[in-house]
Chain A
């Protein structure tokens, strides 16, 4: 008995598909998901959702407007199709379906987002550690209202400037190692009021203009360095220690920092998250077909869309723009399943632990316990390297050529795998910049250190621009030194050093 014959959908039909998919996902495969909230929206609303990074509630800022006009323009001119879905890591898990899509696409999206992504959000360790799905919507509402309120009190321009500066530092607003303790929105609000009052007090203490009596007499030894340890979370450091910020500005920094932290797991799990979702839409819809619940036509259309989604253009293609996370992720999860179900000798040699084990528990383990970098390091098989025909290019600016370091052969597998894994390591891809000193006893200069690795320099123009933003928040001189092997190779400062002529 088919669930549907035509391509049109209505709400009742969506519910029937959802029920059939849910039955398979929960009962046959034991996927653990948040409850689903599936929302049907129009293409215009999809553009809105797009430009607010998919969040259902967002504060106002021109940069979202910029994204909106860009998306709108490209969509109107036909340069770009809209994504089929947007899904939000919240409890219940909100997924958007576009009304223009036919029932095949809707079913694909339900399986992909509401069961694939959803179970990933709920079970991957990074999401479990860093995000709190039950409170995010409340927090977003809080943030939106707070910022709107600040605009009322302090003017749109002042708030916008603060936000601009925070956005510039957003990637440096995450704790990479420390684990946060999730708190509810109500608690958040109460704490926020407390913070406003107490923080200012602390800061006044830190920046006291008159230290005890005569510092020259009293402080015989060098004052201890502040901060005691280098700080990687620049926004956190500014929120807590910037000398002249108003309480509301500190709260705005905090909001941006929270958003950065919320999105941090998504940035680290693009391949896995999409791969996992693709694995499940593929598996679940195939099961529906095996059960005789969908027609051949449905299946053909589904497969066509599926193969478009997971297509990896070769590097020679004119529209090649790097790895397609859908392609890599989907193939890796499928490959893990294959290694479990039909291992060959190569697999037994490379993956002795999982070859021949239960595929379902293995893919779940992989999904729960890794991020992109370690996932690739653990599970990229020689067979997949051959399938994608991966090759590694070593580019050293001391040479006028680039060198092929490894290809898909026996000597190259490990090197390709290491290199690809590294490519997804955010802490290597993003310059390593930390606060090393704030001169609390002297002229209040803030010093940051960029630890170079592999001789990769900072982009100077953007570094200067970002420093300008940092200076806006810190309000005293800000210096950034680029260091490799203990020697300072490049230095920036804001305001720029004055040349005495």
Chain B
């Protein structure tokens, strides 16, 4: 007798827990691989899963087994030319391979890497593990327009459409029981008396008493019946409340120098940095807008394509971009409705007289409004005036302003981690 059972609809993901434990155990390996991937990948496929390779020796599960050496014997199939007593040079690697070497070697197959894939979500989790956005105070703002209707419990007043039948009936049942309890108790005692009388021999006196009892019982039962089945006081209504939904939205300002001194490689570096920041913000906010501002001697708001790929020449006045940022914030992004982030990338060149102005602009006008301002310099050379001025700002506002230098793609992610790593501060 056999039973044939269709199990295809059963849970497929029985191994999920084990898989997660595996990933957790090898977190540091995986993070290294993710780190590599970030510097290797082009921008478009940043948001994808990744193939992770871990050296096999790092995740071996050790057991006792024989090492090479000693005298051993192995039987192989498929003899073609050997005769008894033939001597053959020992193949490299000692034991001659084959079976019977214990289980430790059975996953050898000549590859030293244990490779597997993680999906997009896991990739991003590892990418941004231990990072956090600074200054999240404003993260949940009271939105002006968006409300949500939530279940607000049960109330005794309401409109007929919202009657909660189950609760109303339960209420009615309780009321009926409560109001009739005394009467029903009386009926029970009377009935008991009557039954006792019926057991005994009849006599006129008892007949009269019986009659009286019957009448009393009938009267009481009528009283019980007069209790209404459902009363208006029983009615219960579902209640809904209107709650404002906190918005979590952010706008990110990407500010980049596009003067003649910025070549495509530098822009690429900057772009990667912006992209990481974007992915990171996206994980923290439901809604994100990005504003691209590029500048040389004057600043302009542009679309993404133009931002990254069109070329301009000319000198550099950074303050023009900062001013434009300030104007856009005032015009479109009220501080109490938006979380504001700005990231600036530049090769550090600036019109020397402009740098103090930039510092003042950031400190006095932008930082009070922004959650965070980060500045990256994509130039492997000595710093100029702008860097020095910015450094002063960083000293005065360490929690809202940060800066770093990036020379090559591999450094972007470490620098990014450095800028956004969890800070132990109150």
Contact = CB atoms under 8 A, between A and B. Distances in A.
Nearest to B104: A462
Contact of B69 (A68, A313, A389, A457): A457
Contacts of B13: 44, 48
Nearest to B86: A404
Given A38-B5, A40-B5, A73-B116, A403 B62 contact: no
Contacts of B8: 40-42, 45, 99
Contact of B3 (A36, A320, A396, A400): A36
Contacts of B55: none
Interface stretch (B16-24, B153-161, B260-268): B16-24
Contact of A457 (B66, B84, B90, B115): B66
A415 to B, nearest CB: 9
Contacts of A164: 61
Contacts of A321: 99
B77 interface: yes
15 contacts: A52-B15, A63-B61, A65-B20, A69-B22, A73-B116, A402-B87, A402-B90, A405-B73, A423-B74, A423-B75, A429-B66, A456-B69, A457-B67, A462-B64, A465-B60
Contacts of B24: 62
B75 A70 contact: no
B100 A423 contact: yes
A171 interface: yes
* A-B pairs with lowest CB-CB distance, top 6: A314-B78, A322-B99, A65-B22, A456-B70, A65-B18, A465-B62
A171 B116 contact: no
Interface stretch (A183-191, A243-251, A406-414, A437-445): A406-414
B363 to A, nearest CB: 47
B75 A11 contact: no
B245 to A, nearest CB: 36
A344 B4 CA distance: 45
A312 interface: yes
Interface residues of A, number: 103
A420 interface: yes
Given A395-B72, A458-B67, 19 more contacts: A11-B4, A18-B4, A40-B8, A45-B10, A62-B22, A62-B25, A65-B17, A73-B115, A168-B61, A170-B63, A390-B79, A395-B71, A397-B70, A407-B79, A450-B64, A457-B67, A459-B104, A466-B63, A466-B64
B88 A458 contact: no
A160 B21 contact: yes
Residue from A38, A398, A429 whose CB has the most chain B CB atoms within 10 Å: A429
Given A37-B3, A423-B99, A62 B18 contact: yes
Contacts of A177: none
A391 B69 contact: no
B14 interface: yes
B3 A92 contact: yes
Nearest to B76: A315
Given A388-B78, A407-B79, A394 B71 contact: yes
Interface of A: 11, 14-15, 18, 22, 35-42, 44-45, 47-48, 51-52, 60-66, 68-70, 72-73, 76, 92, 96, 99, 114, 156, 160, 164, 167-172, 312-317, 320-323, 388-409, 411-412, 416, 419-420, 422-423, 429-431, 433, 450, 452, 454-463, 465-466, 469
Interface size for chain B: under 10, 10 to 19, 20 to 34, or 35 or more residues?
35 or more
Contact of B77 (A35, A72, A315): A315
A409 B8 CA distance: 53
Nearest to B89: A401
Interface residues of chain A: helix, strand, loop or mixed (majority): mixed
A60 B63 contact: no
B78 A313 contact: yes
Nearest to A406: B84
A393 B74 contact: yes
A422 B5 CA distance: 42
A430 B65 CA distance: 6
B414 interface: no
Interface in B166-183: none
A68 B15 contact: yes
Contact of B59 (A42, A60, A66): A66
Contact of A316 (B73, B80, B98): B80
Nearest to B109: A321
Contacts of A69: 19, 22, 116-117
B246 interface: no
Interface in B83-137: 83-90, 94-96, 98-100, 102, 104, 114-117
